[in-house]
Amino acid sequence: MKHLLLKVTALFLLVVSCNSNDLEPAPKAMEIDMSDFFVYTDTSTDIMSKATDSKDKRRNCHTMINLNRLLDENPGLEKKMYAIEYQTRKFIASKKPSGTPGGGPPGGNEDPDPEPPVAYDGTITIPVVVNIIEKELGQVKESQISSQIDILNEDFNNANPNTSGAPDNFKNLVADYNINFQLAGVNRKESSKNSWGTRDAMKSSKKGGIDATDPAHNLNIWVCEIGGGILGYAQFPGGPAKTDGVVIGIDYFGETVGAYGDGRTATHEIGHWLNLRHIWGDGGCSVDDFVTDTPVSDGPNYGCPGETTNCGTIDMTMNYMDYVYDNCMYMFTIGQNDRSRALFASDGYRSSFVNAN
């Protein structure tokens, strides 16, 4: 009996040993540096100081001020945006051939999910619902709507003809986002309201506006008179679903007239919706936009400037996330594209746009 027990024990150890040799090593957890990440911005900074004259001070994006407001009103938003940023950096790190940044998530240095995200490399199709609030029906022309969709498809597929004029130091950084926008619906509503402000009233039927249409599967664009000289504003990934989308002033939606009449306000604001900060990082030379291939700058550029140097580098004034005139902005970078693509990865915040539910 004793000899039989020893044989059974030996056989068991042999099986365990063989199975152990067949096991693949557990994937190594990534280490992601989050030490530079911030959500609140100093909106008291005089970012208008770089404008050369008063007419150049007209472009006014309210996105960062809107973000600060949402952070104050939603106590869990900062943590949620931290998680989105962590996923974004993990996605970008997983694309690198070797090496990852150092650091880690809150509460520890190891990634709780060491498996890399699965990228979505195909063409992304984004249905667009346009919600128009106007003084009289038809104030916003059908031509504005169709031209705006055309402009978005041009800009997010690297088809802006002005890109051919990119300076040599930026030519190899121009990205094709490979995103197609398709008009999914138009909602119109009459209102005698002179301006809607920036507290999302236009996004609520209870406040006289129009409710969002299925924001998990549609990009909602609200078109209305914002007021205060504001061209538009957006909501970053992570904010409340019922207000997810972008807002554009009537005069700046699609092809209209003037320096901001080429529809690029929507391109700029959708850049925020796709998790891009302003090109200067909304701070001084020590603050970044979390994109490695965009140069550091101390503030926005206006008008149609020539070569401009700040913080020891040449400004990428032609980037869609700057404040220049519409016909002088014409590129996103590869790094910006990587950042936005993270949203559509298997674990990304906007994965519902590419994954059937």
Q: What is the DSSP string of 264-280?
A: HHHHHHHHHHTTPPPTT
Residue bearing tokens 């609030």:
133
C-beta of residue 198 within 8 angstroms of C-beta of residue 205: no
Burial class (CB in 10 A: 0-12, 13-18, 19+), 194: exposed
Written in H, E and C, the secondary structure of 221-249 is EEEECCCCCCCEEECCCCCCHHHCCEEEE
State residue 209 phi and psi, 5-degree precision.
-95, -150
Residue 152, both tokens: 């978005």
Residue 75, CB-side half-sphere exposure with 13 Å CA sphere: 0
Provide the pLDDT for residue 43.
62
Q: Which among 187, 188, 160 is positioned nearest to 328, based on CA atoms?
A: 160
**pTM (whole model) above 0.85:** yes
Which pLDDT value is given to residue 195? Answer: 97
Q: Is 307 a catalytic residue?
A: no
CA distance 89 to 232: 28
Q: How far apart are CA 133 and CA 121, in angstroms?
A: 36
Annotated active-site residue in 24, 110, 269, 307: 269
Q: Are 258 and 237 in contact (CB under 8 A)?
A: no
Amino acid at 69: R
3-state secondary structure of 7: helix
Q: What is the pLDDT along the chain (357 residues), one digit of tens a residue?
A: 444 444 434 444 444 444 444 445 555 567 899 999 999 887 654 444 444 444 445 678 999 999 999 999 999 999 999 999 999 999 999 887 644 443 444 444 456 566 778 999 999 999 999 999 999 999 999 999 999 999 999 999 999 999 999 999 999 999 999 999 999 999 999 999 999 999 999 999 999 999 999 999 999 999 999 999 999 999 999 999 999 999 999 999 999 999 999 999 999 999 999 999 999 999 889 999 999 999 999 999 999 999 999 999 999 999 999 999 999 999 999 999 999 999 999 999 999 999 865
Cβ-proximal residues to 122 (8 Å cutoff; 6+ apart), any chain: 178, 354
CB 275 within 8 A of CB 343: yes
Joined tokens for residue 155 = 């800009």
Q: How high is the pLDDT of residue 7?
A: 46
